[in-house]
Amino acid sequence: MKLTGAQVIWETIIQQGTNVVFGYPGGAILPTYDALVDYQDRVHHVLVRHEENAALAADAYFRATGKVGVCMATSGPGATNLVTGLANAMMDSSAVVAITGQVASHLVGSDAFQETDVTGVTLPITKHNYLVMDVNELPQVMAEAFYIARSGRPGPVLVDICKDAQQKMVDYEPITSVQMRGYRAIKPHGRQDIPALLQRAKELIDHARRPVILAGQGIKHGNAHEEFREFVEKSGIPVATTLLGIGVLSEDHPLNLRMMGMHGEAYVNQAIANADLLIALGMRFDDRVTGNLKTYAKNARVIHVDIDAAEINKNVPADVGIVGNVKDVLRELTPLIEKRSYPAWMEQINEWRADTKAHDVLNVELPEDVLLAPHVMRAIWEETKGECTICTDVGQHQMWETQYFQHTRKNQLITSGGLGTMGFALPAAIGTKFGRPDEEVWAIAGDGGFQMSIPELATVMQENLNIKIAIINNNFLGMVRQWQELMHNHRYSAVEMWTPDFVKLAQAYGMCGMRATNIKEAREVIRRAREHNGPVLIEFVVEKETNVFPMIQPGKSLNEMTRRPIQPAALGGGMQFMKEKAQ
Amino acid sequence: MLIDRIEARKNPTKHTLVALVENKPGVLNRVASLMRRRNFNIESLAVGTTEDPTVSRMTIVIDASRTNAALVERNLYKLVNVIDVQDVTNLPTVVRELALIKVRVSDAQHRGEIKQIADMFQSRIVDVAKESVMIEVTGEEQKVDSILNVLQDYGILEVVRTGRIAMTRG
Ligand SMILES: Cc1ncc(C[n+]2csc(CCOP(=O)(O)OP(=O)(O)O)c2C)c(N)n1
């Protein structure tokens, strides 16, 4: 059939199974928005208030559904506004297709109005990108874009389409399979002798006495939760997860130690530091996970499985490196290994764990008028019985969420890991709610990050989305303040934050607004927010200068972490406020 | 300075990668961007057409003392437009470089000597002017290095080297 380029865009999106697009119109993408009028019954377009949030929402939509997230913007400023969102999707391996309008093909290169070299700008932050000047290429390019975004290690793909290519006609047949010359979803470079590698892995596992599994997001992307649980239970090996690996195994599973790394609980990092075997599955040894590489897990052999060949031996040398889909690899590896358990090793870990519990702020008797972010996280968890999806922003509250919310459901936490993008929570909650309409969705943000995404409150209202928004207000850029306190000798520089009256702000948007300043109120407003059938914004006024512990300071080793001060004997560090309260 | 560079070139830590890439706009940019972005140190990069007009061939020389060649290879391989990459460093390979060298000549005697040197290196004089001659030399880099070394005393006015190209034998 004969279609315009603009129609080809919508046809492909629908054919690929995505029925929501986050975007913002403008001159160079007008033909595509014109065509949208005829596709409205099959695709829902969400008008965001800033293109960055379109990309972030599309990213979260992918994480919530496994379907490719789509965002759309005009040329020039529209496209450049997408940049942070695309970089976020690139770092966290989210399948996103971004469609941008470009000036007409005869104007390309002439510095025409709103012309930006968008493929040039986004080259290092996309898995691949295209500039389409000729409508005849468009059907193939659109199909390739979705295929590349979704397959192998997922990532963002941008398609920049000249205005005239959107307007011109082309013969269109739906493309059901894509053959590309250079691209293969999984590209082990050179030949891999898989049976030999698996055998070698089995031997390392058989001989291990203190093994730890490092579980990453690759397990989610490979939809390998079942295979992973079987492997864990048969091998009897305890699991530490990365931030993005939270949700690959229930956190109440006896073998799940929970999150590792910079703000992981001390016993998790102690286990890794003392391990004699690390089995890394779908994770990439980010510096936030390893700390100082020179001292990282010095006595451990390493088995590393990843779909991306370029991750093997990048940061941590692997004794056995296997390039492949975690699901396929585990299906072959699990039958090879023996059913085992490690009582002595687990006993050691539990000893460390007991020590961690003694440090926990939740076990501290606090004055009645004190509210800490950990209390809020715990209260949301208890009130929702953990049955919700959480989208967090970036900063202290993000780390406290990982520590004090027990994630028992699959892929329950959606957060910005690799890029650490402030302003993620609200657009992510919007994307998530479209992906999981029947789910209770919470956006949890700091007062800093939330103020980066305030405009999206309008989107929430316009789309009538039932999202609960929790602002953890410490009137500081908390995480940066913490670094300044700990590493810059308490010299605060540009971290104090004035905030608006968030309750009135909510009301200005026609949204229900609430505030809590102590634990009792916190529980109360969470309860009321959940009963309210519609969006709610809650401001939790928390202690200003508390720190997230434990912490491995940058460049330090896993066993050099700063522990939580034992309470209440040592009221130093982040608990300074309690001294003042006591006076 | 030239000598320093020649010494560095004798260093056996050089790795040669041959990449076949789709002949499409922007592919060279993608490869160059990858090198910059990952902080890979490349010594030379030569691009040209092949027997297949839709495929270009890149020969990339890496200083492996500063850059992990295997990582370069794997990252190149990830680029959607890259069809194949091979590290040919340890394979039987014919390696060539072409250089044009402009040398100062002050009198007829010099001109004669330079002609002799060119002959010894099986290279050719491709241009003769009043105060200079231009030599075209082809061979492995060491050969180019050597002739440069010898010609240095006469005064080298200009040099251009293509960078290494390579093809496995057989
Ligand atoms: C877009 C962006 N700018 C700057 C930073 C650096 N940064 C990391 S955490 C942080 C503070 C966040 O403060 P807030 O949102 O109030 O959350 P809190 O740490 O107090 O929980 C900053 C500025 C970032 N991650 N992202």
Helical H segments across B90-140, by residue range: 108-120
Residues 292-321 of A with CB under 8 A from B: 308-310, 312-314
ipTM of predicted assembly, 2 dp: 0.89
Could you tell which of A479, A485, A499 is best to mutate to test the pocket of ligand 1, judged by most ligand atoms within 8 Å of the CB?
Answer: A479
Residue A415 lies in domain: 359-582
A377 and A318 together in one domain: no
Q: In this predicted structure, what is the pLDDT of residue A363?
A: 76
Cis previous bond, A254, omega within 30 = no
* Residues making up chain A, counted from first to last: 583
A385 and A317 together in one domain: no
The tally of CA atoms less than 13 A away on the side-chain side of residue A406 is 11
The kind and range of the H/E element at A7 are helix A5-15
- List of chain B residues whose C-beta atoms are within 8 Å of the C-beta of residue A310: 71, 74-75, 77-78
Answer yes or no: is A283 within a domain: yes
A282 and A329 together in one domain: yes
CA of A318 to the centre of ligand 1 (A): 34
A75 and A212 together in one domain: no
- Asked if A442 contacts A430 with a C-beta cutoff of 8 angstroms, the reply is no
A309 and A201 together in one domain: yes
Tell me the C-alpha to C-alpha distance, in Å, between residue A478 and each of A392, A449, A471, A482, B167.
14, 10, 13, 6, 57
Answer yes or no: is A417 within a domain: yes
Whether the pLDDT of residue B20 is over 80: the answer is yes
Which residue lies with its CA nearest to atom 4 of ligand 1?
A422
For B40-59, what is each residue's pLDDT tens digit? 989 999 999 999 999 999 99
Answer yes or no: is A325 within a domain: yes
A10 and A47 together in one domain: yes
CA of A443 to the centre of ligand 1 (A): 15
A344 and A367 together in one domain: no
Domain count for chain A:
3
- pTM for this one? 0.95
- Asked if A103 contacts A115 with a C-beta cutoff of 8 angstroms, the reply is yes
A375 and A259 together in one domain: no
Positions of chain A with pLDDT lower than 70, given as ranges: 189-190, 566-583
Q: In this predicted structure, what is the pLDDT of residue B80?
A: 96
Answer yes or no: is A177 within a domain: no
Answer yes or no: is A189 within a domain: no
Residues 6+ apart with CB under 8 A from A275: A210, A211, A212, A297, A299, A300
A327 and A369 together in one domain: no
Helical H segments across A170-273, by residue range: 194-207, 218-221, 225-235, 266-273
Domain ranges of chain B: 2-91, 94-168
A480 and A340 together in one domain: no
Q: Which amino acid is at B156?
A: I
A327 and A388 together in one domain: no
Whether the pLDDT of residue B126 is over 90: the answer is yes
Domain boundary among A298, A327, A353: A353
Domain B2-91 adopts which CATH fold? Alpha-Beta Plaits (3.30.70)
pLDDT confidence tier of residue B9, bands split at 50, 70 and 90: very low
Domain boundary among A171, A202, A225: A171
A293 and A233 together in one domain: yes
- CATH label of the domain that carries residue A529: 3.40.50.970
Q: Which CATH class for the B94-168 domain? A: alpha beta
CB atoms within 10 A of CB A77: 12
Answer yes or no: is A179 within a domain: no
- CATH label of the domain that carries residue A254: 3.40.50.1220
